[in-house]
Amino acid sequence: MTGALLELDSVSKTFTRGGLFSRTQVEAVIDVSFRLEMAKPEIFSIIGESGSGKSTLARIILALQAPTRGTARFKGRDLAGLRDGADRHAFMAAVQPVFQNPFEAFNPLKRLDRYLYATCRRFAGAKDEAAMQAGADKALRQVGLSLAEVKGRYPHELSGGQLQRVAIARALASGPSLLIADEPVSMVDASLRASIVNLFRKLRDELGLSIIYITHDLATAYSISDRIIIMQKGRVVESGDARTILADPKHPYSKTLKESVLEPLAPGERPLFAR
Amino acid sequence: MSAAMRNPAAKPEAAQGPVVAVRDLRAWYRLRLFGVDREVKAVDGITFEVRKDEIYGLAGESSSGKSTLVKTIAGAMRPPLEIVGGEIQFSFMDGTMGLNRAPADLVERVRWRHLSYVMQGSMSVLNPVRRIGTSFFDFAFRHMGLDNAGFEAAVVAHLARVNLPASVLKAYPHELSGGMRQRVTIALATICRPQFIIADEPTTALDVVVQKDVLAMFRSIQREMASSVLFVTHDMGVHAHLTDRLGIMYAGRLVEEARTPDVFARPRHPYTRHLIHSLPRIGDDRPRIGLEGTPPSLANPPSGCRFHPRCVFATERCRVEVPPMEQVAPDHRVACFEKDRVEATP
């Protein structure tokens, strides 16, 4: 396969606030362009503080919001042209979200296997109970769980790390080619975070899945990303190879961001706020 | 008149003693529903002290009992949470066991004057329909013993310390940014110059750039007032750079405690070791390994050492016996039977 999986061409999004007489415009995303190749699955990180426009960008890529200017194309198709129906259905199967807080993403009164069954039925063409169960089990095994562990369980019965794995499995059940993960580890315990991050790497290598990883955590972004873009107030201020940029950021904002990361102490290192 | 004033000789000793001493504290959630007793042992036998002029960090993941511990120390308990055993002693309240058993008028005088609290969500802590200045009045006026003009001057001077202009007193919480609001809550908690401050995830909701500023400011205020702080967060990066000593909690128990640099350089408990080794660093490409298994349920915790089902060092003894907290070096305590093997493993 050749060509672009996802292509953003100077995408901007402006929100208008206020009424007839006091209209203000908020530019959430300004002139963002990047391209993910179909032939080369990668983990692409979008980094920025809150208000930098990274979540708006995610909503544009998920076709939940149309850009004000510029075009976003998925496999050559303009996302603005997606109508409800078969096109949109195929797009939803191919691009799946993973949300920040797994405790809020799932209805506490609904069994977890139901989510997997529904996704299999709607997007993976599972016709009967047996096909749905097979699809759910396959997706759960890809994240290191199995249907036997999840069947009949409610969200409160699982830990945050397990629940986030189920959320990822649910996204995988439709057989997507792109995952949009918005802060997927910020609500997960530190000891389990590394395993979720490693899981993303495994999905990229084994399933050939491209992942857009949205975060403000530079350290995890460094450990898994192939490429990154750093956003400030809606604009991309720096982009390129993750290791090169994070090892030696050029833009003043990227530098500030890197200097503000509080990392665990290396032997002999002095704490920043030491007495 | 305080005991120290009656007996001046006792004063230096009192200054060196701990500001807060927690001994073998057990705080459980006890539910009795339809004849079924259910106990969640969220804090189960914790001993530690916070010394004068130090920031004591408390780390642990969700459901490790750190919030319950903080609530218990602050005396903010409601049923079904109750203290089952152990004691909490404050240097500024002689003889009384914790705030929960102190008489109401004493609690009223001590809270905010001697013991204050910086909470997590600054938006939900500050009253949205009251100006910041009114909140200061509500919290601190009666403790300061000043007249109106003197009080306002003191508040303005204190706000300058956290780099806030006097104009924020006229503002409502929604008019301020997240970083400014968090500074306001820190200013509120420190204006009475309390001996002891509990800070529960005060910077978790902030951006990294703002977080660094707020932490630096917090440290400088603490140093100026020589207060003692119990600082709770799950962010090991914050602990590394801010705290003087660090206690690691796992499933309702303290498993390791040491001076912060020692925790990072020489962890002796398998859980601490794993936690530190799993943290990613910029510029370090070694793969990180996540911890296997799930955090234990506090309603039905594992026997023996509560970490044994997830521990690679576990032996038969760990399954049966509870490892006691033992001193292994000055200021370094650890609760593990296999601590020497853990330390010897690279």
Q: What is the ipTM of this complex?
A: 0.80
User: Looking at A125-129, B8-12, B23-27, B56-60, which range is the least confident one?
Assistant: B8-12
DSSP bridge pairs for A78:
A73
Residue of B nearest to A199 (CA): B290
CB B258 within 8 A of CB B247: no
What's residue B122's pLDDT? 61
Mean pLDDT by 10 residues, chain A (275 residues): 86 85 85 92 90 89 91 90 85 91 90 93 89 93 88 87 91 93 83 85 93 90 92 93 91 91 80 77
What's residue B2's pLDDT? 45
| Residue type for position B215 | L
Structure-model confidence comparison of residues A220 and B102, the more confident one: A220
Q: What is the spatial distance between Cα B187 and Cα B214, in angstroms, rounded to a whole number?
A: 11
Q: How many Å separate Cα B316 from the centre of its chain?
A: 34
Residues in B whose CB is inside 8 Å of some CB of A read: 61-62, 178, 207-212, 215-216, 219, 223, 234-238, 240-242, 244, 260-261, 264-265, 271, 274-276, 278-283, 285, 287-292, 294-295
What's residue A127's pLDDT? 87
Out of B5-19, B53-67, B108-122, give the one with best mean pLDDT.
Answer: B53-67
What's residue B97's pLDDT? 65
What mean pLDDT comes out for the span B145-164? 90
Q: Tell me the chain B residues in contact with residue A261 when contact means C-beta distances shorter than 8 Å.
A: 208, 237, 282
Q: What is the spatial distance between Cα B180 and Cα B163, in angstroms, rounded to a whole number?
A: 9
Residues in A whose CB is inside 8 Å of some CB of B read: 49-50, 158-162, 189-198, 216, 218-220, 222-223, 243, 246-247, 256-267, 271-275
What's residue A169's pLDDT? 94
Nearest 10 degrees: CA dihedral of A153, A200, A228, A245? 120
Structure-model confidence comparison of residues A87 and B248, the more confident one: B248
Q: Tell me the chain B residues in contact with residue A49 when contact means C-beta distances shorter than 8 Å.
A: 207-210
CA distances from A262 to B119, B206, B242 (A): 21, 13, 10
* A218–B289 CB contact, under 8 Å: no
List, for residues B129-138, the tens digit of each pLDDT value.
Answer: 999 999 999 8
CB-nearest to B283 from A247, A262, A274 is: A247
What is the overall mean pLDDT for chain B? 85
What's residue B92's pLDDT? 84
Q: Over the Cα atoms of chain A, what is R_g? A: 20
Residue of B nearest to A145 (CA): B293
The size of the A-B interface in CB pairs under 8 A is: 136
Q: Tell me the chain B residues in contact with residue A256 when contact means C-beta distances shorter than 8 Å.
A: 209
What's residue B113's pLDDT? 86
What's residue A110's pLDDT? 93
Q: Tell me the chain B residues in contact with residue A275 when contact means C-beta distances shorter than 8 Å.
A: 223, 244
* B279–A161 CB contact, under 8 Å: no
What's residue B180's pLDDT? 86
Q: Is B98 exposed, middle or buried (0-12, 13-18, 19+ CB in 10 A)?
A: buried
What mean pLDDT comes out for the span B207-211? 84
Selected for mutation to probe chain B from A189, A218, A256, A275 (highest B CB count within 10 Å) is A189
Q: What is the spatial distance between Cα B250 and Cα B42, in angstroms, rounded to a whole number?
A: 10
What's residue B7's pLDDT? 42
What's residue A1's pLDDT? 58
What mean pLDDT comes out for the span B2-28? 64
* B237–A223 CB contact, under 8 Å: no
Whether the per-residue pLDDT at B21 is higher than 60: the answer is: yes
CATH code at A4-255:
3.40.50.300
* A262–B260 CB contact, under 8 Å: no
* A197–B288 CB contact, under 8 Å: yes
* A264–B207 CB contact, under 8 Å: no
Structure tokens at B51: 């010394």
